[in-house]
Structure 1
């Protein structure tokens, strides 16, 4: 099997690459063995954005095997034993109200083309079954997450279209408010709250994501949004690239009370490797990242933990985790700290697979529900770059629709109890 060959080659080359050899470190030997049995699933990698920045998405001009200007290339992926990756379809906040949808579609396209250009390495994936099948075939399952609700232009139709194109999570905000959700900067005091969390349309969006089977990603949102979504979502939620607030009190990280609610919801927090979120400073070491894993396990258990490295989306990474090839170092460190094989396998991929399967079960249970086609009120999105086609004489209808939504949300717990 290809991974076994890679395993042997990796061990042979470890000393030359600066890693510890298996004869010197039995924990690394065990780490690589576990990674050959359970797929490492990473929640967030910004390689597609680097392809935009560096090559304007001209993938034909890029050799992904040997690309040297990124944290990620195929050789590093193979050394790092990456079983599955959520590739980020990200575009900056300054595209909001302009060409965010177009640019996001182009980022989705470049992920598809990566899989088409390198079919021996990548397998496009949209489900838990696809991930396990790709792992069986010794390929890296390639999923898509859209990073930032501004990419939707406040459209449920755009959300559904992106789902049909293979998007399997949406980060509700990036580092800007949308017309329906507050972003994490609100909690720092650097931006005002516009919605006290989610607007009525934002709550519509959560319901529709549950119906579609799209993972709700709470990285980048306020604590208010975290709690609102955890209270109302029928499916488990994810933090695709966030760490523990108690270890590093940065507002991009997850407070302990929210960690416990994620546990109750059956969700997952995928630990970010960015120095600023690991130590709240410009420098960090591998051991500091492991401290976040330990803390989350202590507060909420090993079954809510995952990997969310944020490679190619950050400017500073810990010593020992400089690129994708170094991720096995984290696994070895967890084993060194006394994590059991079962706990390590949970963090590697079993937790995310459970979350995805349970989200798919919620989707299947809602097959009889119709798509929500009530648009956001025009007054909430009115701007010089947006036309108003379809909104004529619809104000009264929108007011009634919003009232109906609020009534439905209020009655939802009773409806759920009746169904049970």
Structure 2
């Protein structure tokens, strides 16, 4: 028993060493929205409030965070909301110039990494936030947006979402319109990465035909492991590999384990009165579920999948297209449930430990943690 304990301790220490020597990039974290909804600041100690805060990014080994800029399709003036979220990060960066930099060029990224500062950029989650205006897309890029998810669960006038494409009442043509293709082309010209998480299959294939640059799925998993429309089918995974892109694993339990769905429905039904009351108060629905899950943590934790279930998605994608095309897109602070071991941004080293247990080299682990995204970033700029 003593020797087993020492072996486990040695493995954990080795994982920490590789983890903190690598550049860790997370392509999707919703803490800007979470901070606004909860009326807290990113640079405060948000332990027990959020999955993330500025200090814990550092402690968890996060070197480069793409902060999601999001609102649902029902919110009025989504462009204004996007600007408010960006303003909140700019304010936090101004208060902490020794800890964080909103980097807009490869040179600025390298400088911040060398100085041990958090590289911060934006990913706009939903093309509805440009309000059908290419000038607003240009402004987003100027402010530090380096990818845009073409749709959220709602479609735009120019791209169909995964939700609408499977709806029998969705009347118009699926996929990208001519204007949608123009948006993809403009993103290629700007150096803004095209993100296909949330898009419908028709939109996905139109993107593959239109883009001249590698794409990402900023927070998606494998459909064959968990068959939900937010995950990618094998043909899509193969196409992203051929494109040179990267699929970033989403930690949300419902996209990790298909059995979670029914358990979560029962959990929400039990607390329906509180959920309805918070929605009526004006809180966005997805954050209501997070608040309820935090309030009833013991119940919520009991239905979560294990980290090994997430690693099945990793293994499947690697089997199809190789280790050069997988990364991390946690969706922390935008989800109410993640695998049991991945409670907050402090737990990223456990993912690294799972890679070591699978026999991956230091070089391959560094690719997965951030190197693959950095390659796509450079190819887009």
| TM-score tier (shorter) | 0.7 to 0.9
2:309 to 280, 288, 303: 288
Deviation, 1:26, is 3.1
Tell me: CA distance 1:222–1:73, structure 2 relative to 1, closer, same or farther (3 Å): same
1:160 to 114, 130, 138: 138
TM-score (norm 1): 0.76
Deviation, 1:193, is 5.5
Give 5+ residue unaligned stretches, structure 1. Answer: 1-19, 361-420
The SS at the match of 2:27 is strand
1:386 alignment counterpart: none
1:204 alignment counterpart: 182
Distance in 1 separating the partners of 2:347 and 2:198: 25
1:77 to 57, 74, 79: 57
8 Å CA contact 1:180, 1:195 repeated in 2: no
RMSD: 1.9
Deviation, 1:190, is 6.4
Tell me: CA distance 1:252–1:193, structure 2 relative to 1, closer, same or farther (3 Å): farther
1:39 to 11, 15, 23: 23
1:315 alignment counterpart: 336
Q: How does 1:63-102 map to 2 (within 5 A)?
A: 64-95=44-75, 98-102=76-80
8 Å CA contact 1:272, 1:308 repeated in 2: yes
8 Å CA contact 2:43, 2:92 repeated in 1: no
The SS at the match of 2:226 is coil
Larger radius of gyration: 1
Tell me: CA distance 1:191–1:31, structure 2 relative to 1, closer, same or farther (3 Å): farther
Q: Tell me if 1:105 matches 2:89.
A: no
Q: How does 1:237-256 map to 2 (within 5 A)?
A: 237-256=215-234
Distance in 1 separating the partners of 2:37 and 2:28: 17
2:379 alignment counterpart: 358
8 Å CA contact 1:244, 1:292 repeated in 2: yes
The SS at the match of 1:220 is coil
Tell me: CA distance 1:177–1:135, structure 2 relative to 1, closer, same or farther (3 Å): same
Deviation, 1:235, is 0.7
The SS at the match of 1:164 is helix
Deviation, 1:176, is 0.4
Deviation, 1:24, is 2.9
Q: Tell me if 1:228 matches 2:249.
A: no
Give 5+ residue unaligned stretches, structure 2. Answer: 261-303
Aligned residue pair count: 335
8 Å CA contact 1:126, 1:166 repeated in 2: yes
Structure scoring higher RCO (CA < 8 A, sep ≥ 6) equals: 2
1:339 to 360, 365, 368: 360
Tell me: CA distance 1:191–1:217, structure 2 relative to 1, closer, same or farther (3 Å): farther
Tell me: CA distance 1:227–1:161, structure 2 relative to 1, closer, same or farther (3 Å): same
1:185 alignment counterpart: 163
Tell me: CA distance 1:310–1:51, structure 2 relative to 1, closer, same or farther (3 Å): same
Q: Tell me if 1:114 matches 2:109.
A: no
The SS at the match of 1:101 is helix
Distance in 2 separating the partners of 1:63 and 1:308: 21
Deviation, 1:36, is 2.8
The SS at the match of 1:196 is coil
Deviation, 1:114, is 1.8
2:36 alignment counterpart: 52
The SS at the match of 1:94 is coil
1:150 alignment counterpart: 128
For residues 287-340 of structure 1, the C-alpha deviation after alignment (integer angstroms, 9 at most, x for no partner) is: 111111111100110001000000000011111001110011011011101222
8 Å CA contact 1:147, 1:174 repeated in 2: yes
8 Å CA contact 2:165, 2:174 repeated in 1: no
For residues 355-378 of structure 1, the C-alpha deviation after alignment (integer angstroms, 9 at most, x for no partner) is: 000001xxxxxxxxxxxxxxxxxx
8 Å CA contact 1:268, 1:304 repeated in 2: yes
TM-score (norm 2): 0.84
Deviation, 1:28, is 2.5
For residues 82-122 of structure 1, the C-alpha deviation after alignment (integer angstroms, 9 at most, x for no partner) is: 01100011112112xx3111111111111111211222321
The SS at the match of 2:155 is coil
